[in-house]
Amino acid sequence: MADAPTPDAPDDSLFMRRALDLALRGTGYARPNPLVGCVVTHRGRIIGEGWHERYGGPHAEVNAVASVADPSLLRESRVYVTLEPCAHHGKTPPCADLLIAHGVPEVVVCNDDPFPLVAGRGTAKLRAAGARVETGLLAAEGRWLNRRFFTFHEKQRPYLVLKWAETADGFLAGPYFQTVAISGPQARLLTHQWRAEEQAVLVGTRTALHDNPHLTVRDWPGPDPLRVILDKNLCLPPTHHVLDGQQPTLFYTYRQRPDTENRAYATLTEADDLMPQILADLWQRQVQSVLVEGGPTVLNALLKAGLWDEIRIFRSPRKLGAGVAAPRLGLSGLQSVEAVGDDQLFRYLNE
């Protein structure tokens, strides 16, 4: 864990929280890389800062060092970074080498990197060069920030967020999957924000067939997710939005079909439970997080298997009286309940 603050760094936690805040600015754009922020201080004053802005672009340490007006001060500086500096050549050179080249004497790290090509090598390289390295400052906050990245590497599957809207009497669609408006406009806005935050959005056949969703980000600034459709027999009509070819879409099916522009097909092996196959394939495709928007068959399969990390439920005051039942939760892990317009948002974490 981190040592007590030194006289030159009167509040380590303050500077690390600033680095965590900066890291958030890369949400949706840095993936599949982790969110990383970096703050450079000199005698207790911030002289440089940066974050990983976009996949393939400079890392947080590079941007932070480049923002320092007087590089000679780096030899007397203390650097705060939310994730262990990389020690390997990827799309960019190793950040540990950059800090060593500038003679940075002190580095404070929030989390060790679980990625096998880093995993302790960055801090080891810095220490071997004579830098004082402290790790573990605000580690819980750092893991939450990069929960998708940690889950992907530690559990070898995407981070899974299950989301649905249900009526006050426990239905998520009308009889025979008739589409009805359940949640309000504020919930729709929040759903589009969530789509921008996750790498993929997944729905089953009946949800795609009956709701005909776009599964895009239209009411929030941010990138569209990969659309993932479970369509076992490729029964969706060509007029449906997920077949418009406007964004990358991945179909899981029993039928073999060649990929086309913006459409990929993965062939499933028939089984009682298809979700392990799908999650394993998404992991191989480097998909780190999935927002699962339905329908009940997919949601219940994941719930039964315990394959979820977060659940977000919009509960409307509206009642239907009959229809397709929402999943029933016998869970602990309720984290919060908040009002979203006329709806209530229930959030669960899989602890």
Q: Is 108 annotated as a binding residue?
A: no
Q: Is 195 annotated as a binding residue?
A: yes
Q: Is 309 annotated as a binding residue?
A: no
Q: Is 75 annotated as a binding residue?
A: no
The CA distance from 306 to 330, in Å, is 12
200 within 8 A of 282, measured Cβ to Cβ:
yes
Q: Is 211 annotated as a binding residue?
A: yes
Q: Is 95 annotated as a binding residue?
A: yes
The CA distance from 209 to 12, in Å, is 53
Annotated catalytic residue, options 61, 84, 166, 198: 61
292 within 8 A of 329, measured Cβ to Cβ:
no
Which of 38, 189, 196 minimizes the C-alpha distance to 104? 38
Residue 61 known to be catalytic: yes
Q: Which amino acid is at 109?
A: V
Q: Is 113 annotated as a binding residue?
A: no
Q: Is 295 annotated as a binding residue?
A: yes
What residues have CB less than 8 Å from 70, skipping those under 6 apart?
A: 47
What residues have CB less than 8 Å from 280, skipping those under 6 apart?
A: 157
Q: Is 59 annotated as a binding residue?
A: yes
Category of 103 on φ-ψ map: left (φ > 0), alpha (ψ -120 to 50) or beta: left
Give the total residue count for the chain: 351
Q: Is 300 annotated as a binding residue?
A: yes
What residues have CB less than 8 Å from 112, skipping those under 6 apart?
A: 84, 119, 120, 123, 135
Q: Is 301 annotated as a binding residue?
A: yes
Q: Is 299 annotated as a binding residue?
A: yes
Pairing of strands 310-315, 343-349: antiparallel
Q: Is 86 annotated as a binding residue?
A: yes
Q: Would you list which residues are annotated within the binding site for NADP(+)?
A: 165, 195, 207, 211, 295-301
Active-site residues, by number, are 61
Q: Would you list which residues are annotated within the binding site?
A: 59, 86, 95, 165, 195, 207, 211, 215, 218, 293, 295-301
Q: Would you list which residues are annotated within the binding site for substrate?
A: 215, 218, 293
Q: Would you list which residues are annotated within the binding site for Zn(2+)?
A: 59, 86, 95
